Chains A and B, each alone.
Chain A
Protein backbone atom coordinates (compact mmCIF):
# COMPACT_ATOMS: atom_id res chain seq x y z
CA UNK A 1 0.00 0.00 0.00
CA UNK A 2 1.33 3.43 -0.95
CA UNK A 3 0.93 5.38 2.30
CA UNK A 4 1.92 8.70 0.76
CA UNK A 5 -0.78 8.44 -1.88
CA UNK A 6 -3.32 7.50 0.78
CA UNK A 7 -2.17 10.41 2.93
CA UNK A 8 -2.00 13.32 0.54
CA UNK A 9 -2.28 11.86 -2.96
CA UNK A 10 1.44 12.39 -3.52
CA UNK A 11 3.75 9.74 -4.94
CA UNK A 12 2.75 7.01 -7.35
CA UNK A 13 -0.98 6.30 -7.26
CA UNK A 14 -2.02 3.09 -5.55
CA UNK A 15 -4.31 1.25 -8.02
CA UNK A 16 -6.47 -0.25 -5.30
CA UNK A 17 -7.01 3.11 -3.59
CA UNK A 18 -7.70 4.71 -6.94
CA UNK A 19 -10.41 2.15 -7.56
CA UNK A 20 -11.92 2.77 -4.13
CA UNK A 21 -11.87 6.51 -4.82
CA UNK A 22 -13.61 6.00 -8.13
CA UNK A 23 -16.32 3.73 -6.77
CA UNK A 24 -16.92 5.61 -3.53
CA UNK A 25 -16.71 8.97 -5.26
CA UNK A 26 -20.18 8.22 -6.62
CA UNK A 27 -21.49 8.88 -3.11
CA UNK A 28 -19.86 12.31 -2.85
CA UNK A 29 -21.92 15.18 -1.45
CA UNK A 30 -23.62 16.85 -4.38
CA UNK A 31 -26.68 18.50 -2.92
CA UNK A 32 -27.72 21.67 -4.68
CA UNK A 33 -26.24 24.85 -3.31
CA UNK A 34 -28.59 26.53 -0.86
CA UNK A 35 -30.57 29.53 -2.00
CA UNK A 36 -30.00 32.41 0.33
CA UNK A 37 -32.34 35.33 0.95
CA UNK A 38 -31.72 38.61 -0.74
CA UNK A 39 -29.27 41.13 0.66
CA UNK A 40 -32.15 43.47 1.44
CA UNK A 41 -33.78 40.86 3.61
CA UNK A 42 -30.57 40.26 5.41
CA UNK A 43 -29.87 43.88 6.24
CA UNK A 44 -27.67 43.64 9.26
CA UNK A 45 -28.96 44.62 12.63
CA UNK A 46 -27.98 48.11 13.69
CA UNK A 47 -25.56 49.16 16.35
CA UNK A 48 -26.66 48.10 19.83
CA UNK A 49 -28.26 50.68 22.06
CA UNK A 50 -27.98 48.79 25.34
CA UNK A 51 -24.42 47.79 25.97
CA UNK A 52 -25.38 46.01 29.17
CA UNK A 53 -27.59 43.55 27.37
CA UNK A 54 -24.89 41.49 25.76
CA UNK A 55 -26.61 38.22 26.61
CA UNK A 56 -29.77 39.38 24.97
CA UNK A 57 -27.99 40.52 21.85
CA UNK A 58 -26.36 37.15 21.53
CA UNK A 59 -29.68 35.41 21.84
CA UNK A 60 -31.24 37.63 19.26
CA UNK A 61 -28.31 37.25 16.92
CA UNK A 62 -28.87 33.54 17.21
CA UNK A 63 -32.53 33.96 16.40
CA UNK A 64 -31.58 36.02 13.38
CA UNK A 65 -29.15 33.38 12.30
CA UNK A 66 -31.91 30.81 12.55
CA UNK A 67 -33.94 32.86 10.15
CA UNK A 68 -31.06 33.07 7.76
CA UNK A 69 -30.86 29.32 7.78
CA UNK A 70 -34.59 28.88 7.51
CA UNK A 71 -34.79 31.15 4.51
CA UNK A 72 -31.51 30.27 2.95
CA UNK A 73 -31.35 26.54 3.13
CA UNK A 74 -34.86 25.81 2.01
CA UNK A 75 -35.35 23.52 4.96
CA UNK A 76 -38.93 24.35 5.42
CA UNK A 77 -40.17 21.18 3.78
CA UNK A 78 -38.24 19.23 6.35
CA UNK A 79 -40.14 20.89 9.13
CA UNK A 80 -43.41 20.24 7.42
CA UNK A 81 -42.87 16.56 7.81
CA UNK A 82 -41.69 16.78 11.38
CA UNK A 83 -44.39 18.96 12.84
CA UNK A 84 -47.04 16.59 11.63
CA UNK A 85 -45.72 13.98 14.00
CA UNK A 86 -48.27 15.01 16.64
CA UNK A 87 -48.09 16.29 20.18
CA UNK A 88 -47.07 13.73 22.77
CA UNK A 89 -48.95 14.46 25.95
CA UNK A 90 -48.04 13.10 29.34
CA UNK A 91 -49.27 13.62 32.85
CA UNK A 92 -47.04 15.36 35.38
CA UNK A 93 -49.44 15.41 38.33
CA UNK A 94 -53.09 14.75 39.15
CA UNK A 95 -55.55 13.69 36.49
CA UNK A 96 -55.44 15.84 33.35
CA UNK A 97 -58.16 15.05 30.80
CA UNK A 98 -58.18 14.83 27.04
CA UNK A 99 -61.76 15.35 25.96
CA UNK A 100 -63.59 13.18 28.54
CA UNK A 101 -60.81 10.69 29.11
CA UNK A 102 -58.34 10.68 31.96
CA UNK A 103 -54.74 11.02 30.87
CA UNK A 104 -52.76 8.27 32.56
CA UNK A 105 -50.22 7.46 29.85
CA UNK A 106 -48.36 9.28 27.11
CA UNK A 107 -50.70 9.73 24.19
CA UNK A 108 -50.86 11.76 21.01
CA UNK A 109 -52.96 14.88 20.94
CA UNK A 110 -54.63 15.38 17.59
CA UNK A 111 -56.06 18.41 15.84
CA UNK A 112 -59.22 19.60 17.53
CA UNK A 113 -58.55 17.76 20.77
CA UNK A 114 -58.63 19.55 24.10
CA UNK A 115 -56.50 18.95 27.15
CA UNK A 116 -57.75 20.27 30.46
CA UNK A 117 -56.21 20.30 33.90
CA UNK A 118 -58.05 20.78 37.18
CA UNK A 119 -56.73 22.52 40.27
CA UNK A 120 -54.44 19.63 41.15
CA UNK A 121 -53.21 18.38 37.81
CA UNK A 122 -50.44 19.29 35.44
CA UNK A 123 -49.34 17.92 32.10
CA UNK A 124 -46.63 18.28 29.53
CA UNK A 125 -46.79 18.13 25.78
CA UNK A 126 -43.88 17.80 23.46
CA UNK A 127 -42.97 17.50 19.84
CA UNK A 128 -39.36 16.62 19.31
CA UNK A 129 -38.83 19.10 16.52
CA UNK A 130 -40.90 21.90 18.01
CA UNK A 131 -40.50 22.17 21.75
CA UNK A 132 -41.97 21.36 25.12
CA UNK A 133 -44.91 22.93 26.88
CA UNK A 134 -45.85 22.50 30.49
CA UNK A 135 -49.48 22.96 31.37
CA UNK A 136 -50.29 24.35 34.79
CA UNK A 137 -53.43 23.58 36.84
CA UNK A 138 -56.78 25.05 35.76
CA UNK A 139 -55.78 25.24 32.11
CA UNK A 140 -57.62 24.47 28.90
CA UNK A 141 -55.53 24.02 25.76
CA UNK A 142 -56.58 22.98 22.26
CA UNK A 143 -54.71 21.84 19.17
CA UNK A 144 -55.74 23.86 16.15
CA UNK A 145 -55.39 23.14 12.49
CA UNK A 146 -52.36 25.00 11.20
CA UNK A 147 -50.91 25.73 7.80
CA UNK A 148 -48.59 23.01 6.64
CA UNK A 149 -45.30 23.07 8.49
CA UNK A 150 -46.60 25.06 11.44
CA UNK A 151 -48.00 24.17 14.85
CA UNK A 152 -50.79 26.05 16.49
CA UNK A 153 -52.39 25.76 19.89
CA UNK A 154 -55.17 27.73 21.54
CA UNK A 155 -54.97 28.63 25.21
CA UNK A 156 -58.53 29.27 26.34
CA UNK A 157 -57.62 29.78 29.98
CA UNK A 158 -54.86 28.96 32.44
CA UNK A 159 -51.08 29.00 32.16
CA UNK A 160 -48.51 27.32 29.95
CA UNK A 161 -44.73 27.45 30.01
CA UNK A 162 -43.31 27.04 26.51
CA UNK A 163 -39.76 26.24 25.59
CA UNK A 164 -39.55 26.23 21.83
CA UNK A 165 -36.62 25.18 19.71
CA UNK A 166 -38.38 25.20 16.36
CA UNK A 167 -37.56 27.81 13.76
CA UNK A 168 -39.01 31.24 14.51
CA UNK A 169 -42.59 31.62 13.40
CA UNK A 170 -43.35 27.90 13.33
CA UNK A 171 -45.18 27.74 16.63
CA UNK A 172 -48.02 29.99 17.73
CA UNK A 173 -50.52 30.07 20.56
CA UNK A 174 -53.85 31.79 20.09
CA UNK A 175 -55.51 33.36 23.10
CA UNK A 176 -58.88 35.11 23.22
CA UNK A 177 -57.09 38.45 23.00
CA UNK A 178 -53.90 37.93 20.97
CA UNK A 179 -51.77 35.43 19.11
CA UNK A 180 -48.34 34.69 20.55
CA UNK A 181 -45.79 33.92 17.83
CA UNK A 182 -42.61 32.23 18.92
CA UNK A 183 -39.51 33.91 17.56
CA UNK A 184 -37.04 31.54 19.17
CA UNK A 185 -37.72 31.61 22.85
CA UNK A 186 -39.02 30.43 26.19
CA UNK A 187 -42.00 32.08 27.74
CA UNK A 188 -44.94 31.81 30.11
CA UNK A 189 -48.38 32.66 28.84
CA UNK A 190 -51.38 33.12 31.11
CA UNK A 191 -55.02 33.71 30.21
CA UNK A 192 -57.62 34.57 32.84
CA UNK A 193 -61.30 33.72 32.85
CA UNK A 194 -62.11 36.97 31.00
CA UNK A 195 -59.78 36.12 28.15
CA UNK A 196 -57.21 38.74 29.12
CA UNK A 197 -53.64 37.54 29.06
CA UNK A 198 -50.09 38.13 30.17
CA UNK A 199 -46.91 36.92 28.54
CA UNK A 200 -43.52 36.82 30.22
CA UNK A 201 -40.52 36.04 28.03
CA UNK A 202 -37.52 34.40 29.63
CA UNK A 203 -35.40 33.74 26.55
CA UNK A 204 -35.36 35.08 22.99
CA UNK A 205 -38.42 37.09 22.04
CA UNK A 206 -42.09 36.64 21.25
CA UNK A 207 -44.41 38.49 18.92
CA UNK A 208 -47.89 39.25 20.20
CA UNK A 209 -50.52 40.17 17.65
CA UNK A 210 -54.19 40.98 17.27
CA UNK A 211 -55.22 42.25 13.84
CA UNK A 212 -52.96 45.25 13.10
CA UNK A 213 -51.81 45.69 16.68
CA UNK A 214 -48.50 44.05 17.43
CA UNK A 215 -46.08 43.91 20.33
CA UNK A 216 -42.61 42.45 20.68
CA UNK A 217 -41.61 41.03 24.01
CA UNK A 218 -37.90 40.31 24.49
CA UNK A 219 -36.43 38.28 27.34
CA UNK A 220 -36.96 39.97 30.67
CA UNK A 221 -40.09 41.76 29.53
CA UNK A 222 -43.81 41.18 30.02
CA UNK A 223 -46.87 42.28 28.09
CA UNK A 224 -50.55 42.26 28.93
CA UNK A 225 -53.26 41.68 26.41
CA UNK A 226 -56.93 42.56 26.62
CA UNK A 227 -59.93 41.21 24.80
CA UNK A 228 -60.97 43.66 22.06
CA UNK A 229 -57.92 45.93 22.39
CA UNK A 230 -55.24 43.26 22.01
CA UNK A 231 -51.61 43.45 23.10
CA UNK A 232 -50.64 46.27 25.41
CA UNK A 233 -47.30 48.00 25.86
CA UNK A 234 -44.48 45.61 26.80
CA UNK A 235 -42.09 46.60 29.55
CA UNK A 236 -39.06 45.21 31.28
CA UNK A 237 -39.83 43.66 34.63
CA UNK A 238 -37.07 45.65 36.28
CA UNK A 239 -38.67 48.94 35.23
CA UNK A 240 -39.64 51.33 38.05
CA UNK A 241 -42.93 50.47 39.72
CA UNK A 242 -44.39 53.86 38.83
CA UNK A 243 -43.69 53.26 35.16
CA UNK A 244 -45.18 49.77 35.21
CA UNK A 245 -48.31 50.98 36.97
CA UNK A 246 -48.66 53.86 34.55
CA UNK A 247 -48.43 51.49 31.58
CA UNK A 248 -51.13 49.29 33.04
CA UNK A 249 -53.39 52.32 33.36
CA UNK A 250 -52.52 53.37 29.82
CA UNK A 251 -53.38 49.90 28.49
CA UNK A 252 -56.54 49.31 30.47
CA UNK A 253 -59.66 49.52 28.27
CA UNK A 254 -61.50 51.03 31.25
CA UNK A 255 -59.17 54.01 31.69
CA UNK A 256 -60.48 57.48 30.90
CA UNK A 257 -58.73 59.86 28.50
CA UNK A 258 -57.49 61.88 31.47
CA UNK A 259 -56.12 58.79 33.19
CA UNK A 260 -54.32 57.77 30.02
CA UNK A 261 -52.86 61.22 29.47
CA UNK A 262 -51.60 61.34 33.04
CA UNK A 263 -50.18 57.83 32.74
CA UNK A 264 -48.36 58.80 29.55
CA UNK A 265 -46.66 61.72 31.30
CA UNK A 266 -45.53 59.38 34.07
CA UNK A 267 -44.12 56.92 31.54
CA UNK A 268 -42.21 59.64 29.71
CA UNK A 269 -40.74 61.09 32.88
CA UNK A 270 -39.84 57.75 34.46
CA UNK A 271 -38.46 55.89 31.47
CA UNK A 272 -34.85 54.77 31.45
CA UNK A 273 -32.77 53.99 28.38
CA UNK A 274 -33.85 50.35 28.34
CA UNK A 275 -37.48 51.44 28.57
CA UNK A 276 -37.13 52.49 24.96
CA UNK A 277 -38.81 49.12 24.46
CA UNK A 278 -42.02 50.63 25.83
CA UNK A 279 -41.53 54.02 24.17
CA UNK A 280 -41.18 52.44 20.73
CA UNK A 281 -44.54 50.72 21.18
CA UNK A 282 -46.10 53.91 22.51
CA UNK A 283 -45.26 55.75 19.28
CA UNK A 284 -47.99 53.91 17.42
CA UNK A 285 -50.45 53.74 20.33
CA UNK A 286 -50.75 57.41 21.25
CA UNK A 287 -52.74 60.06 19.47
CA UNK A 288 -50.95 62.10 16.83
CA UNK A 289 -51.02 65.09 19.17
CA UNK A 290 -49.03 63.16 21.80
CA UNK A 291 -46.64 61.44 19.42
CA UNK A 292 -44.08 64.21 19.28
CA UNK A 293 -43.67 64.04 23.06
CA UNK A 294 -42.97 60.34 22.86
CA UNK A 295 -40.61 60.97 19.94
CA UNK A 296 -38.66 63.53 21.95
CA UNK A 297 -38.22 61.27 24.94
CA UNK A 298 -37.40 58.23 22.81
CA UNK A 299 -34.89 60.22 20.74
CA UNK A 300 -33.25 61.55 23.89
CA UNK A 301 -32.68 57.99 25.12
CA UNK A 302 -31.95 56.29 21.78
CA UNK A 303 -31.05 58.67 18.96
CA UNK A 304 -32.93 57.81 15.77
CA UNK A 305 -30.75 56.01 13.24
CA UNK A 306 -29.90 57.56 9.91
CA UNK A 307 -32.94 58.03 7.71
CA UNK A 308 -35.44 58.16 10.56
CA UNK A 309 -37.07 61.55 10.81
CA UNK A 310 -39.52 63.20 13.17
CA UNK A 311 -41.92 63.74 10.29
CA UNK A 312 -41.73 60.11 9.26
CA UNK A 313 -42.37 58.85 12.77
CA UNK A 314 -45.17 61.36 13.22
CA UNK A 315 -46.75 59.83 10.13
CA UNK A 316 -46.05 56.31 11.48
CA UNK A 317 -43.84 55.44 8.53
CA UNK A 318 -43.52 51.66 8.84
CA UNK A 319 -39.99 51.47 7.48
CA UNK A 320 -38.72 54.16 9.83
CA UNK A 321 -40.40 52.58 12.83
CA UNK A 322 -38.86 49.24 11.94
CA UNK A 323 -35.45 50.77 11.48
CA UNK A 324 -35.62 52.45 14.85
CA UNK A 325 -36.71 49.21 16.45
CA UNK A 326 -33.73 47.40 14.97
CA UNK A 327 -31.44 50.01 16.45
CA UNK A 328 -32.57 48.83 19.90
CA UNK A 329 -30.99 45.45 19.20
CA UNK A 330 -33.88 43.62 20.76
CA UNK A 331 -34.55 41.49 17.70
CA UNK A 332 -34.43 42.11 13.98
CA UNK A 333 -37.92 43.12 13.01
CA UNK A 334 -37.40 41.78 9.50
CA UNK A 335 -37.71 38.35 11.08
CA UNK A 336 -41.15 39.26 12.36
CA UNK A 337 -42.27 40.80 9.08
CA UNK A 338 -41.16 37.68 7.25
CA UNK A 339 -43.10 35.32 9.47
CA UNK A 340 -46.08 37.60 9.75
CA UNK A 341 -46.35 37.51 5.98
CA UNK A 342 -45.80 33.78 5.74
CA UNK A 343 -48.37 33.10 8.44
CA UNK A 344 -50.87 35.26 6.69
CA UNK A 345 -50.27 33.46 3.40
CA UNK A 346 -50.23 30.07 5.11
CA UNK A 347 -53.49 30.71 6.91
CA UNK A 348 -55.15 31.53 3.65
CA UNK A 349 -53.97 28.36 2.03
CA UNK A 350 -54.79 26.19 5.04
CA UNK A 351 -58.49 26.77 4.83
Chain B
Protein backbone atom coordinates (compact mmCIF):
# COMPACT_ATOMS: atom_id res chain seq x y z
CA UNK B 1 0.00 0.00 0.00
CA UNK B 2 2.57 2.44 -1.19
CA UNK B 3 0.41 5.55 -1.21
CA UNK B 4 -0.84 5.19 2.33
CA UNK B 5 0.62 6.92 5.33
CA UNK B 6 2.04 4.38 7.74
CA UNK B 7 0.84 4.76 11.27
CA UNK B 8 2.39 3.02 14.22
CA UNK B 9 -0.41 1.71 16.40
CA UNK B 10 2.07 0.61 19.06
CA UNK B 11 2.74 4.29 19.68
CA UNK B 12 -0.84 4.98 20.62
CA UNK B 13 -0.69 3.16 23.92
CA UNK B 14 2.80 4.46 24.65
CA UNK B 15 1.73 8.06 24.07
CA UNK B 16 -1.36 7.66 26.23
CA UNK B 17 0.71 6.15 29.00
CA UNK B 18 3.38 8.85 28.68
CA UNK B 19 0.68 11.51 28.98
CA UNK B 20 -0.17 10.03 32.33
CA UNK B 21 3.44 10.22 33.50
CA UNK B 22 4.43 6.63 32.75
CA UNK B 23 8.23 6.75 32.70
CA UNK B 24 8.64 3.38 31.04
CA UNK B 25 6.37 4.37 28.18
CA UNK B 26 8.21 7.63 27.83
CA UNK B 27 11.52 5.82 27.76
CA UNK B 28 10.27 3.52 25.03
CA UNK B 29 9.17 6.46 22.92
CA UNK B 30 12.52 8.12 23.47
CA UNK B 31 14.49 5.02 22.54
CA UNK B 32 12.35 4.42 19.50
CA UNK B 33 12.36 7.96 18.10
CA UNK B 34 15.65 9.52 19.19
CA UNK B 35 17.47 8.17 16.10
CA UNK B 36 14.81 9.67 13.83
CA UNK B 37 15.07 13.04 15.53
CA UNK B 38 18.86 12.76 15.40
CA UNK B 39 18.87 12.26 11.63
CA UNK B 40 16.42 15.10 11.03
CA UNK B 41 18.61 17.44 13.04
CA UNK B 42 21.83 16.13 11.51
CA UNK B 43 20.44 17.21 8.16
CA UNK B 44 20.07 20.77 9.39
CA UNK B 45 22.29 21.83 12.27
CA UNK B 46 26.01 21.65 13.17
CA UNK B 47 27.00 18.19 14.30
CA UNK B 48 28.20 19.31 17.72
CA UNK B 49 24.73 20.66 18.49
CA UNK B 50 22.75 17.63 17.40
CA UNK B 51 22.76 15.51 20.55
CA UNK B 52 21.69 18.42 22.75
CA UNK B 53 18.95 19.37 20.34
CA UNK B 54 17.65 15.80 20.29
CA UNK B 55 16.95 16.23 23.99
CA UNK B 56 15.43 19.64 23.39
CA UNK B 57 13.01 18.18 20.87
CA UNK B 58 11.69 15.72 23.46
CA UNK B 59 11.59 18.49 25.96
CA UNK B 60 9.36 20.47 23.65
CA UNK B 61 7.21 17.53 22.70
CA UNK B 62 6.30 16.06 26.04
CA UNK B 63 4.47 19.01 27.57
CA UNK B 64 2.44 19.12 24.37
CA UNK B 65 1.56 15.44 24.22
CA UNK B 66 -1.98 16.24 25.25
CA UNK B 67 -2.37 18.31 22.09
CA UNK B 68 -1.60 15.36 19.84
CA UNK B 69 -4.96 14.33 18.45
CA UNK B 70 -3.85 11.09 16.85
CA UNK B 71 -1.35 9.31 19.08
CA UNK B 72 -0.62 6.97 16.16
CA UNK B 73 0.85 9.97 14.39
CA UNK B 74 3.43 10.59 17.08
CA UNK B 75 6.36 10.06 14.70
CA UNK B 76 5.18 12.61 12.16
CA UNK B 77 4.35 15.05 14.90
CA UNK B 78 7.73 14.64 16.58
CA UNK B 79 9.48 14.98 13.23
CA UNK B 80 7.74 18.30 12.68
CA UNK B 81 8.89 19.47 16.11
CA UNK B 82 12.44 18.43 15.26
CA UNK B 83 12.34 20.46 12.04
CA UNK B 84 10.96 23.46 13.93
CA UNK B 85 13.64 23.05 16.55
CA UNK B 86 16.29 23.17 13.83
CA UNK B 87 14.67 26.28 12.36
CA UNK B 88 14.69 27.91 15.78
CA UNK B 89 18.33 27.02 16.17
CA UNK B 90 19.15 28.87 12.96
CA UNK B 91 17.08 31.87 13.96
CA UNK B 92 19.30 32.25 17.00
CA UNK B 93 22.51 31.09 15.33
CA UNK B 94 22.20 32.36 11.76
CA UNK B 95 25.72 31.29 10.78
CA UNK B 96 25.70 27.94 12.55
CA UNK B 97 25.66 25.47 9.69
CA UNK B 98 27.38 27.79 7.24
CA UNK B 99 30.21 28.24 9.70
CA UNK B 100 30.59 24.52 10.15
CA UNK B 101 30.53 23.80 6.45
CA UNK B 102 33.12 26.46 5.66
CA UNK B 103 35.43 25.36 8.43
CA UNK B 104 38.19 22.92 7.73
CA UNK B 105 35.98 19.89 8.20
CA UNK B 106 38.64 17.36 9.22
CA UNK B 107 39.52 19.61 12.14
CA UNK B 108 35.95 19.51 13.45
CA UNK B 109 35.11 17.07 16.15
CA UNK B 110 32.12 14.78 16.34
CA UNK B 111 31.40 15.89 19.86
CA UNK B 112 32.63 14.45 23.13
CA UNK B 113 36.17 14.74 21.85
CA UNK B 114 35.74 12.22 19.07
CA UNK B 115 37.17 13.37 15.76
CA UNK B 116 34.84 13.29 12.81
CA UNK B 117 36.08 10.92 10.13
CA UNK B 118 37.11 13.07 7.11
CA UNK B 119 35.32 10.78 4.70
CA UNK B 120 32.13 10.93 6.77
CA UNK B 121 32.46 14.70 6.92
CA UNK B 122 32.75 14.90 3.14
CA UNK B 123 29.71 12.68 2.60
CA UNK B 124 27.73 14.57 5.23
CA UNK B 125 28.54 17.86 3.52
CA UNK B 126 27.44 16.38 0.21
CA UNK B 127 24.15 15.13 1.69
CA UNK B 128 23.49 18.48 3.29
CA UNK B 129 23.82 20.14 -0.09
CA UNK B 130 20.89 18.08 -1.42
CA UNK B 131 17.23 19.14 -1.26
CA UNK B 132 15.80 18.86 2.24
CA UNK B 133 13.54 15.86 1.63
CA UNK B 134 16.46 13.84 0.28
CA UNK B 135 18.79 14.83 3.12
CA UNK B 136 16.54 13.52 5.84
CA UNK B 137 15.69 10.27 4.12
CA UNK B 138 19.27 9.50 3.21
CA UNK B 139 20.53 10.19 6.72
CA UNK B 140 17.83 7.99 8.22
CA UNK B 141 18.88 5.24 5.84
CA UNK B 142 22.67 5.60 5.87
CA UNK B 143 23.38 6.97 9.35
CA UNK B 144 20.63 5.43 11.46
CA UNK B 145 20.45 2.25 9.39
CA UNK B 146 16.68 2.26 8.93
CA UNK B 147 15.00 0.59 5.98
CA UNK B 148 12.62 2.51 3.75
CA UNK B 149 9.49 1.03 5.39
CA UNK B 150 10.89 1.93 8.82
CA UNK B 151 11.56 5.49 7.70
CA UNK B 152 7.97 5.76 6.48
CA UNK B 153 6.60 4.50 9.79
CA UNK B 154 8.83 6.71 11.92
CA UNK B 155 8.34 9.95 10.00
CA UNK B 156 4.74 9.55 8.87
CA UNK B 157 5.74 9.92 5.22
CA UNK B 158 4.15 7.62 2.68
CA UNK B 159 6.21 4.66 1.63
CA UNK B 160 6.06 5.95 -1.93
CA UNK B 161 7.57 9.29 -0.96
CA UNK B 162 10.34 7.63 1.00
CA UNK B 163 11.16 5.34 -1.90
CA UNK B 164 11.32 8.23 -4.33
CA UNK B 165 13.39 10.31 -1.92
CA UNK B 166 15.83 7.47 -1.39
CA UNK B 167 16.21 6.75 -5.08
CA UNK B 168 16.59 10.33 -6.24
CA UNK B 169 18.58 11.34 -3.21
CA UNK B 170 21.06 8.53 -3.76
CA UNK B 171 21.39 9.45 -7.42
CA UNK B 172 22.17 13.05 -6.54
CA UNK B 173 24.51 12.03 -3.76
CA UNK B 174 26.52 9.84 -6.13
CA UNK B 175 26.76 12.72 -8.55
CA UNK B 176 27.92 15.09 -5.82
CA UNK B 177 30.50 12.68 -4.50
CA UNK B 178 31.82 12.08 -8.00
CA UNK B 179 32.22 15.84 -8.42
CA UNK B 180 33.90 16.17 -5.04
CA UNK B 181 36.33 13.34 -5.78
CA UNK B 182 37.09 14.76 -9.23
CA UNK B 183 37.77 18.17 -7.71
CA UNK B 184 39.91 16.61 -5.05
CA UNK B 185 41.90 14.63 -7.59
CA UNK B 186 42.32 17.67 -9.82
CA UNK B 187 43.47 19.76 -6.89
CA UNK B 188 46.06 17.15 -6.00
CA UNK B 189 47.25 16.97 -9.59
CA UNK B 190 47.55 20.76 -9.84
CA UNK B 191 49.37 20.86 -6.54
CA UNK B 192 51.74 18.13 -7.66
CA UNK B 193 52.48 20.04 -10.87
CA UNK B 194 53.05 23.38 -9.13
CA UNK B 195 54.84 22.15 -6.05
CA UNK B 196 56.55 18.89 -6.95
CA UNK B 197 58.46 19.06 -3.68
CA UNK B 198 55.18 19.20 -1.76
CA UNK B 199 55.90 22.64 -0.34
CA UNK B 200 53.02 24.90 -1.43
CA UNK B 201 53.88 27.79 0.83
CA UNK B 202 57.48 28.05 -0.31
CA UNK B 203 58.51 27.87 3.29
CA UNK B 204 61.80 26.20 4.00
CA UNK B 205 61.40 23.46 6.53
Contacts and interface: CB of A to CB of B under 8 A. Distances in A.
Size category of the binding interface on chain A: 35 or more
B145 A68 contact: no
Contacts of B96: none
A24 B144 CA distance: 8
A6 B149 CA distance: 11
B23 A37 contact: yes
A68 B120 contact: no
A38 to B, nearest CB: 9
B31 A33 contact: yes
Contacts of A64: 21
Contacts of B167: 3, 6
Interface string B62-93: 11111000000000000000000000000010
A23 B173 CA distance: 14
A73 B23 contact: no
Interface stretch (B6-14, B50-58, B182-190, B193-201): B50-58
15 contacts: A7-B147, A8-B148, A20-B123, A23-B123, A24-B120, A29-B39, A33-B27, A42-B21, A61-B19, A62-B65, A65-B18, A65-B19, A65-B21, A75-B59, A78-B55
Given A34-B27, A36-B26, A61-B20, A69 B145 contact: no
A72 B29 CA distance: 13
Interface string B136-171: 000101111101110000000000000100110011
A148 B42 CA distance: 30
The dominant DSSP class at the A interface is helix
Given A28-B144, A34-B27, 19 more contacts: A6-B148, A7-B166, A8-B147, A17-B142, A24-B139, A26-B110, A27-B143, A28-B143, A58-B66, A61-B20, A65-B62, A68-B21, A68-B23, A72-B23, A73-B55, A78-B52, A128-B92, A184-B63, A332-B21
A151 to B, nearest CB: 17
Contacts of B144: 28-29
Contact of B56 (A26, A65, A70, A78): A78
A36 B27 contact: yes
Contact of A8 (B117, B149, B171): B149
A28 B139 CA distance: 9
Interface residues of B, number: 53
Contacts of B147: 7-9
A118 B55 CA distance: 42
Nearest to A82: B56
Interface string A327-349: 00000100000000000000000
A68 to B, nearest CB: 6
Contact of B23 (A8, A42, A61, A75): A42
Which of B21, B31, B52, B116: most chain A CB closer than 10 A? B21
Interface string A276-293: 000000000000000000
B47 A27 contact: yes
B76 to A, nearest CB: 19
B120 A27 contact: yes
B142 A68 contact: no
A34 B55 CA distance: 10
B38 interface: yes
A2 B126 CA distance: 21
A59 B123 CA distance: 44
A105 interface: no
